[in-house]
Structure 1
Amino acid sequence: MKKYSSFLRSLYFMMAALLITGCVHDDIYDDPNLAGYECKDLTANMTIAQVKALKQSGVAYVFPDASASEMIMEGYVSSTDETGNIYKTIYIQDNPQNPTHGFTISVDAVSTYTKFPQGSKIYIKLNGLALGTYGGLIQLGVKDAAASGADAVSRIPESTVPAHIFRSCTERAKIVPKILTLAQMSAANDNLLGALIQVNNAEFDRTVLCSVFAPDGTSVDRRINDGTTTSARVVRNSGFASFANQTLPSGNGTFVGIMSKFNSTYQMYINKVSDLDMNNFPRLDGIAADPCTLDLTGLSPKTVQEVKQMFTGALTTINGEYVLKGKVTANDETGNLFKYIYIEDATGGIRVNINKTNLYQDARFKVGKEIYIKLNTLLIGSVNGELQLGQLFGNNVGQIAEADVYKFFFDSKKPLAAPVPTERTISQLTMADVGRWIKLKDVEFINTDLGNNYASGSPTNRTLKDCNGNTIILRTSHFANFASEEIDGGRGDVYAILSVFNGTYQLWIPKQIHADLDNPRCDGSIPPTKIFAEDFQNGLTANWTKVSVAGTQEWTTSNQGAGSNYYAVMNGGAFANEDWLVSSEISLSGFGNYSLSFDSDGMGAAGLPLQVFITDSYTGNPTTTNWTQLTAPIDTNLGAWGFINSGLVNLNAYANKNVRIAFKYTSSATASTTWELDNVKVLGQ
């Protein structure tokens, strides 16, 4: 099945963005009406400090159950989840002013501000609850089956919150933030984690200037400075906060938020944007005025074509108060492009290099956004024959520094509008099209590419051709989230950016859906159909039986410890092994042609190669089965990681039969190769 989830997510977020734009939040909220909510005044017998002292390193502390003497802690609510930036958490502190301790309560409930608004004095019955840690932060929850790990706790279920947390009927205070410098956010003040603090002379780092608090649906860290430390201090913002799509304040001033920590990183959470007063200039870093507002007065407009004409034949500095207006046509959302975008106007398109990851999360660089680029001091240069914009790197044009992004890129504030591709055939392409978003009509992948993935182990070239035999390269990064997906076997239109590399045209598709080729091929044949497919993302499924004939090692799955791509792997170590991986039964019927393809990767000592077999008479025991070995290319570079594809292995001799495919691993005590296997497919056509 084709994986177009990133496209659907993008569609969802575009619709969500329209909804958010249509519903402006002024960040001014009325106090909740607490009439009718149960309150209770209790007598606390434990302080926050005493409760936290019960927590020992590496293991959760479980309070006695309700049959024991009551254990009651009190505190004042320092947080509010009214804006959605704080989620299923209630932060408290021991005093409304000058607190000495803060604390974190994890609850499986939202809109807790309606029952426990900021400043409320609350009592917590601790019996039956538990203390654990998350990211090194002590929190109160419950110890249940869902709390995996000795030190973990789960959120207090919403149904039991009324039995454990009570709002005082008589006392609600104003929480006065404790003034700290960012340098004082250190281990010496970890007792204050969960308390409301105020940082003076605060300003968001220039690397995040002019961006929004958080992209839709994604939580992000925004670095903040006050001149007292060079250690990173961040503001953690939720993409579901009501203010997420607002631009960060660009000046200097007062920041108020909840002090927290995740592992070794100190962070703060905003309750409400109205708690921030950061509009003063000049800033500590010398920025004298709001850098996020573009004044077009005195700027001369330039087109993409005119910018390209500034290139003198060697690396060229653009000197002059010029501005380029263009629409973003491609970014790094799927990982196929990295640290650059393409923009275009009516005269052409151009690549712009930016030393910043996740550009697609920045409102300025979303596909379909019209942006302004101030050109003064930027460079235009030729990289392998393609003209690009950026700053100096080595002796050529490189990436614009992240700390300089705010100087050059400005949001037009216009709504997104899908870029319109320029229609071309392969034979019509010229250098004037390089950098453009194009629609290449009626093309298909060449026969030898069929059954292959977009990329495997390294950037990979596939070849598209039209029905007249003209060809062009489609290049894909192995970091693209669709790299391991199989290319389509039919014919259709490809939407892509046209680039050039040393005189050779090549295409880059931002998303897999941009090469959706399902029509009959040029010769009238129908695209191959997957009869059997296994990518091992869910382990060794029912599609496979592993049989160990010799040795204790056996087939398993891995992702190299951290990657998103799983595969089957067998490593015999320094032992003699014979291990089979046998597929479930596959029916080769209903088509005229059948083929097998798979990816293999060998690493380590030069042991015996991975072998692939087929049979139509499996006995249930690979050692007594009559197998036929298939001739298929496998990886031969044992000194480096990287899958290679087998191409299409003909299975027509087994048409109209039920077969099983098997992979045989063999090692000895003196020669053992690690073999990895992925993307096994049987195709019918």
Structure 2
Amino acid sequence: MATMQLKKYFSKLSLRHTIAMASVVAAMLLVLASCRKKFDEPPYNSGDPDITTNATIASVKKTFDNSGSASYTFTDSLVFSAIVISSDSAGNVYKTLYVEDSTGGMNIQIDASNLYSNYPKGMRVFVKMAGLSMNKYGGSYEIGQGFSSSRLVRIASSVMSDYIIAGSTGHVVAPVVFDKISSITDAYQSMLIQINDVQFSDVNAYYADSTKTIGYVSNTVTNCSGESAVVYTSSYASFAGTKVASGKGPITAIYVPYNTTKELILNDLNATASMTGARCGASTGTISSIADLRASYTGSDVNYSSGSVSGVVISNSANESTGNIRIVQEDNAAGILVYLPSSTTTYSVGDKVTINLAGSTLTSYNGELELKSATLTVTGTGATVTPLVTTLAAIVKAGSSWSTRLVSVPSLTVSTSST
């Protein structure tokens, strides 16, 4: 009897243990499932928060303008929503969030890096203005948090999510398209714009200074009508050491005017990826020799987007003005003056060189054809050129058409005068 009761007791105990263990296991699975669900959640909200907006970028600017103050802090509970159009992932946009709604664009200063991880391009954000401040820097509206010595202070990273609330992602903002640079006004500040048919003035320039000796570099872009804007690039950008686009085409950028200068900020190199067309006034003929190069000039500047010619150096800055390098075809049929004032390379007489024409311009300077902004590659040394044996009368008759050819005039007498 005692044995049967003992068995019954242990049977009940085992059942209770089984139920308890099952409960523990279920709880653990629930915890693990909860952890897994939280870990697998997307980093951004899939929808917008339940926030009511009562303002726009335009109305916020108007409130500032009507305040009559150059340094204004908002007290009213104004809230606007806008789409992020900037990204600091390439390092060119620094501690700034550019946002845009249907009424305009805004520059929000935030004391944080890697903003793209919290507010990626294409995200809708909700900006609560109460407690935030505004001023104008170089004519552009900026939002921050308070002032120090009349200068706007960036919003602290510890509270940025209190003022700028993340919303839905994947929104696409189409740039405002301009065919004329002169048509861009301050009304488009801090907005994404596209300027068609522009080219960098100096195709041998780099976007910025990769050595970081200087913090920012300005490169001018122009259209074929001579209108211009400035591409302003940080030397900390990942593409600082990249040469600017060599062709003509559309550029997409954030428009940030500074006083009277039309400045453009690039998010990344996709902004200039389509600048591959023929440059303004580009030569359409085939250039295969220095003679072809000279023949392509018909009275106005000629720009080259591609091509190369070869020749031999017959004179350099050792006996001419700094930057002057004279190069002739190996057969001495034609020559050209190449002007490279910023070159740190010394080219010696007898060097065989390839003249890379991409981005160069053929112009007339004091009646002589001159090639600017070309690049030279030395392919050999010690080359000799047979001079053209001629007379002074023939040289005078040929005029500038023989410019930079190597000539020899036998039995020439040189006299000097004291007057």
TM-score by length of 1: 0.39
Q: Hey, what does 2:328 align to over in structure 1?
A: 320
Q: Aligned Cα RMSD in Å?
A: 3.8
Give the 5 Å matches for 1:661-680.
none
Q: Secondary structure at the match of 2:58?
A: helix
Query: Please, which of 163, 171, 174 is the counterpart of residue 172 of structure 2?
Result: 174
Q: Secondary structure at the match of 2:152?
A: coil
Residues 601-643 of structure 1, C-alpha deviation per residue, up to 9 Å, x if partnerless? xxxxxxxxxxxxxxxxxxxxxxxxxxxxxxxxxxxxxxxxxxx
Indicate conservation of the 8 Å contact 1:202/1:278, yes or no.
no
Residues 544-578 of structure 1, C-alpha deviation per residue, up to 9 Å, x if partnerless? xxxxxxxxxxxxxxxxxxxxxxxxxxxxxxxxxxx
Q: Hey, what does 1:116 align to over in structure 2?
A: 119
Indicate conservation of the 8 Å contact 1:133/1:153, yes or no.
no
How has the CA–CA distance of structure 1 residues 283 and 317 changed in structure 2, closer, same or farther, with 3 Å as cutoff? Answer: closer
Following the alignment from structure 1 to structure 2, what is the Cα–Cα distance between the partners of residues 240 and 209? 20
Query: Please, which of 309, 312, 315 is the counterpart of residue 307 of structure 1?
Result: 315
Following the alignment from structure 1 to structure 2, what is the Cα–Cα distance between the partners of residues 319 and 122? 60
State the percentage of identical aligned residues: 23
Q: Secondary structure at the match of 1:75?
A: strand
Indicate conservation of the 8 Å contact 1:63/1:130, yes or no.
yes
Following the alignment from structure 1 to structure 2, what is the Cα–Cα distance between the partners of residues 156 and 90? 11
Q: Hey, what does 1:243 align to over in structure 2?
A: 239
Following the alignment from structure 1 to structure 2, what is the Cα–Cα distance between the partners of residues 50 and 309? 61
How has the CA–CA distance of structure 1 residues 44 and 156 changed in structure 2, closer, same or farther, with 3 Å as cutoff? Answer: same
How has the CA–CA distance of structure 1 residues 131 and 227 changed in structure 2, closer, same or farther, with 3 Å as cutoff? Answer: same
Q: Hey, what does 1:258 align to over in structure 2?
A: 254
Question: Which one scores higher on RCO, CA 8 angstroms, separation ≥ 6?
Answer: 2
Q: Hey, what does 2:161 align to over in structure 1?
A: 162
Following the alignment from structure 2 to structure 1, what is the Cα–Cα distance between the partners of residues 77 and 74? 10
Query: Please, which of 223, 234, 238 is the counterpart of residue 220 of structure 2?
Result: 223
Query: Please, which of 47, 67, 79 is the counterpart of residue 72 of structure 1?
Result: 79
Following the alignment from structure 2 to structure 1, what is the Cα–Cα distance between the partners of residues 310 and 355? 11
Following the alignment from structure 1 to structure 2, what is the Cα–Cα distance between the partners of residues 102 and 34? 31
Following the alignment from structure 2 to structure 1, what is the Cα–Cα distance between the partners of residues 174 and 114? 22
How has the CA–CA distance of structure 1 residues 252 and 231 changed in structure 2, closer, same or farther, with 3 Å as cutoff? Answer: closer
Following the alignment from structure 2 to structure 1, what is the Cα–Cα distance between the partners of residues 177 and 122? 17
Q: Hey, what does 2:56 align to over in structure 1?
A: 47
How has the CA–CA distance of structure 1 residues 346 and 282 changed in structure 2, closer, same or farther, with 3 Å as cutoff? Answer: closer
Q: Hey, what does 1:61 align to over in structure 2?
A: 72
Residues 458-512 of structure 1, C-alpha deviation per residue, up to 9 Å, x if partnerless? xxxxxxxxxxxxxxxxxxxxxxxxxxxxxxxxxxxxxxxxxxxxxxxxxxxxxxx
CA apart distance, 1:58:
5.8
Following the alignment from structure 1 to structure 2, what is the Cα–Cα distance between the partners of residues 174 and 41? 22
How has the CA–CA distance of structure 1 residues 176 and 410 changed in structure 2, closer, same or farther, with 3 Å as cutoff? Answer: farther
Q: Secondary structure at the match of 1:253?
A: strand
**Residue identity matched to 1:159:** S
More strand, by proportion: 1
Indicate conservation of the 8 Å contact 2:108/2:143, yes or no.
yes
- For structure 2, the residue ranges without an aligned partner over 5 or more in a row are 1-39, 287-302, 358-363, 379-419
Residues 306-338 of structure 1, C-alpha deviation per residue, up to 9 Å, x if partnerless? 5359969xxx994624799xxx9xxxxxxxxxx
Following the alignment from structure 2 to structure 1, what is the Cα–Cα distance between the partners of residues 377 and 49? 51
Q: Secondary structure at the match of 2:235?
A: coil
**Residue identity matched to 2:171:** A
How has the CA–CA distance of structure 1 residues 301 and 198 changed in structure 2, closer, same or farther, with 3 Å as cutoff? Answer: same
Q: Hey, what does 2:373 align to over in structure 1?
A: 406
How has the CA–CA distance of structure 1 residues 139 and 118 changed in structure 2, closer, same or farther, with 3 Å as cutoff? Answer: same
CA apart distance, 1:182:
3.8
Give the 5 Å matches for 1:125-524.
125-144=128-147, 146=148, 148-149=149-150, 152-168=151-167, 170=168, 172-186=170-184, 189-205=185-201, 208-216=202-210, 217=212, 218-227=215-224, 230-286=226-282, 288=284, 291=304, 295=308, 299-302=310-313, 306-307=314-315, 318=326, 320-321=328-329, 343-344=345-346, 405-407=372-374, 409-410=375-376
How has the CA–CA distance of structure 1 residues 285 and 269 changed in structure 2, closer, same or farther, with 3 Å as cutoff? Answer: farther
**Residue identity matched to 1:47:** T
Following the alignment from structure 2 to structure 1, what is the Cα–Cα distance between the partners of residues 90 and 354? 32
**Residue identity matched to 2:206:** V
Indicate conservation of the 8 Å contact 2:71/2:134, yes or no.
yes
Following the alignment from structure 2 to structure 1, what is the Cα–Cα distance between the partners of residues 325 and 85? 52
Q: Hey, what does 2:94 align to over in structure 1?
A: 87
Q: Secondary structure at the match of 1:283?
A: coil
How has the CA–CA distance of structure 1 residues 70 and 203 changed in structure 2, closer, same or farther, with 3 Å as cutoff? Answer: same
How has the CA–CA distance of structure 1 residues 49 and 232 changed in structure 2, closer, same or farther, with 3 Å as cutoff? Answer: same
CA apart distance, 1:102:
1.0
**Residue identity matched to 2:310:** L
Q: Secondary structure at the match of 1:106?
A: strand
**Residue identity matched to 1:45:** N
Following the alignment from structure 1 to structure 2, what is the Cα–Cα distance between the partners of residues 291 and 34? 53
CA apart distance, 1:246:
1.3
Q: Hey, what does 1:378 align to over in structure 2?
A: none
CA apart distance, 1:226:
2.6
Indicate conservation of the 8 Å contact 1:131/1:139, yes or no.
yes
Which of 1 and 2 has greater Rg? 2
TM-score by length of 2: 0.61
Residues 162-206 of structure 1, C-alpha deviation per residue, up to 9 Å, x if partnerless? 1110111x45411211112343544xx32221111111112222x
How has the CA–CA distance of structure 1 residues 310 and 321 changed in structure 2, closer, same or farther, with 3 Å as cutoff? Answer: farther
Following the alignment from structure 2 to structure 1, what is the Cα–Cα distance between the partners of residues 252 and 325? 43
Following the alignment from structure 2 to structure 1, what is the Cα–Cα distance between the partners of residues 236 and 96? 15
Following the alignment from structure 2 to structure 1, what is the Cα–Cα distance between the partners of residues 316 and 223? 41
**Residue identity matched to 1:256:** T
How has the CA–CA distance of structure 1 residues 106 and 343 changed in structure 2, closer, same or farther, with 3 Å as cutoff? Answer: same
**Residue identity matched to 1:220:** V
CA apart distance, 1:270:
1.0
**Which range is displaced more, 268-277 or 81-90?**
268-277
Following the alignment from structure 1 to structure 2, what is the Cα–Cα distance between the partners of residues 167 and 132? 24
Indicate conservation of the 8 Å contact 2:107/2:190, yes or no.
yes
Q: Secondary structure at the match of 1:107?
A: strand
- For structure 1, the residue ranges without an aligned partner over 5 or more in a row are 1-32, 329-338, 350-370, 376-390, 413-685
Following the alignment from structure 1 to structure 2, what is the Cα–Cα distance between the partners of residues 215 and 181? 30
Indicate conservation of the 8 Å contact 1:310/1:318, yes or no.
no
